[in-house]
Structure 1
Amino acid sequence: MTNKTDGLPASTGIGAPQIRVLTFSDVRASLGDGWADFKAYPGYGLYFGAIYMLGGLLILGFLTRIGSPWMIIPLAIGFPLLGPFVAVGLYEVSRRRRMGEPITPKGVLAQVFYQRERQLGWMAFVVMFIFWIWVYQVRLLLALFLGFKSFSSWDRFVAIVLSTPEGWGFLMVGTLVGAFLATVLFSTTVIALPMLAEREVDFVTAMIGSIATVVKNPMPMLGFGFIVGTCTLVALLPAFAGLLLVLPVMGHATWHLYRRATSPSG
């Protein structure tokens, strides 16, 4: 069913869906389906991946301009937190392919912009809020552990962090705090974002449903999160270029995992 005025697809359901029990086989199948979607429509994946990559390069350029290029390391670690929201367009490609609907640039982009008028916009605030918490806690930990150290480049920053007791403390505490924030954001968004893109639910309901999915399936869901996070971090190393492949594949895979994790409520 489509909207006659703009060709946008109507939501497939109203209210939160039921949550299914998942296994690692579902995770593997979702990753395989994500790769299949990317191979079938690589142009869309490369387009959205390029936007994500460009964002990383712009951040690096800005930090270099203000004389703080070393900040790219903590920012790059937190950068994957924004990935799920950037992948909304990929969810639409996977949805249309699954439903056998035409996949056109106009239709996909129209659906992406249409989300601004729906609950998905509120999720953007949640994602950005947690990202900024990450940025500020990094600066706080820097002040607490390395406040009396001097580093004007990322090389100097890495050297201090890896060769001093203060740096080791910063790494240990920063890793624990970062892992906690990443787990919170992953749990609240991994199912919520594709759910909001597909169904007529409010963002709080979607977040509760996402958390419930992780609580009901902790090992498969956190395993999927570990795979996504690890692949994304590795993709950042070659000047963010790896995001051209990793973001679309993981974005498509997230959609398929959402479909496996939920069933219509009626």
Structure 2
Amino acid sequence: MDKSLNTLEHHFHLPRIRQVGGSRPFHWLRMGWSDMRDNLGASLSYGVFFAALGYLILAYASDRPYLFTAAISGFFLVGPIAAAGLYEISRRHDAGERASLGASLRGLMRHGDSLMYFGLFLAIVLLSWERLSAILFALFYQGNVPELSHFAREVFLSGEYTHFVVAYMVVGGALAALVFALSAISIPMLMDRDVDAISAAMTSARAVGMNLGAMAVWAALIVALVAIGFATMMIGMAVLLPLLGHATWHAYRDLVE
């Protein structure tokens, strides 16, 4: 592992990565909460917008279970790019600059090219996952698809579709792990430095590889908080998305010298 990470550093001229303890993600959350509290209006503007957008997407997919499950899991794939404006708020806040909504949007425009390339990559992954989800349903799920209100009980909890559940979890988990490794800190890095998307993604992969314990805790916290957001019909996401976005900025600052 160390040899491959050193090879990445040599070919992409990657910055040095710090190693942190497993409890460090809780510090990132505390710092993220502080950023959100100090920039409440701008932060909640992003949270409310994406929570409303997420609710509309889930409502559209509510009578299509394979789309509904793909939409929920797809949120984890596109979340890093959706929070780009929040990273800019934290960056400006750290620098003692005005961190308004307008200022964050101008920051997005300034880094538009790099964000576009990374966003295109995430969009391709999301579309691929939607198609893979449909294929898995066609291959492993036999019979009529139940209504969404009974879907989890009849499909995931009944024990009658073990092959489908295992295949769905393995394929979805592999995609999620890949995207997490490449995007854990790459978007904040693009907002902060004059680097290309590939170097940012490789830096993120290296940071994850050198801090597996801390990043596993961080991934678990993200899943748990996003699950709370979905459980509250996206209402909680209006606060949880800004919290996670600001915390991700501090993860980047902590891990990358």
Q: Same fold (TM over 0.5)?
A: yes
> C-alpha root-mean-square deviation of aligned residues, in Å?
1.9
- Select which of 224, 229, 234 maps to 1:235: 229
Cα gap change, 1:156/1:44 in structure 2, threshold over 3 Å: closer, same or farther?
same
What CA distance in whole angstroms lies between the structure 2 residues aligned with 1:60 and 1:104? 30
The farther-off stretch of 69-78 and 121-130 is: 69-78
**Given the alignment of the two structures, is residue 187 of structure 1 paired with residue 187 of structure 2, yes or no?**
no
Aligned partners of 1:119 and 1:202 also within 8 Å: yes
For structure 2, which runs of at least 5 residues remain unmatched after alignment?
Answer: 1-12
Moved over 3 A (4+): 162-166
What CA distance in whole angstroms lies between the structure 2 residues aligned with 1:17 and 1:73? 37
**Given the alignment of the two structures, is residue 205 of structure 1 paired with residue 199 of structure 2, yes or no?**
yes
**Given the alignment of the two structures, is residue 216 of structure 1 paired with residue 210 of structure 2, yes or no?**
yes
Deviation, 1:163, is 5.7
The farther-off stretch of 225-234 and 196-205 is: 225-234
State the Cα deviation string for residues 144-178 of structure 1 (Å, max 9, x = none). 111x3112521243343046544332222212222
Deviation, 1:143, is 0.8
The aligned counterpart of 1:27 is 25
The aligned counterpart of 1:72 is 68
Aligned partners of 1:60 and 1:69 also within 8 Å: no
- Select which of 33, 38, 41 maps to 1:40: 38
**Given the alignment of the two structures, is residue 248 of structure 1 paired with residue 246 of structure 2, yes or no?**
no
State the Cα deviation string for residues 33-81 of structure 1 (Å, max 9, x = none). 00111111121221111222122122123335xx526632332133222
State the Cα deviation string for residues 88-131 of structure 1 (Å, max 9, x = none). 11111111111111222321111123322x31210001111222
Aligned partners of 2:58 and 2:71 also within 8 Å: no
What CA distance in whole angstroms lies between the structure 2 residues aligned with 1:19 and 1:209? 8
Partner of 2:161, secondary structure, is helix
- Select which of 116, 121, 133 maps to 2:116: 121
**Given the alignment of the two structures, is residue 133 of structure 1 paired with residue 134 of structure 2, yes or no?**
no
What CA distance in whole angstroms lies between the structure 1 residues aligned with 2:240 and 2:175? 21
Deviation, 1:249, is 0.5
Paired letter, 1:168: T
Cα gap change, 1:165/1:28 in structure 2, threshold over 3 Å: closer, same or farther?
closer
- Select which of 241, 255, 258 maps to 2:252: 258
Cα gap change, 1:38/1:157 in structure 2, threshold over 3 Å: closer, same or farther?
same
The farther-off stretch of 221-230 and 22-31 is: 22-31
Aligned partners of 2:39 and 2:100 also within 8 Å: no
Paired letter, 1:206: A
The aligned counterpart of 1:88 is 84
- TM-score, normalisation: structure 2: 0.88
Aligned partners of 1:70 and 1:152 also within 8 Å: no
- Select which of 95, 98, 121 maps to 1:99: 95
Aligned partners of 2:81 and 2:119 also within 8 Å: yes
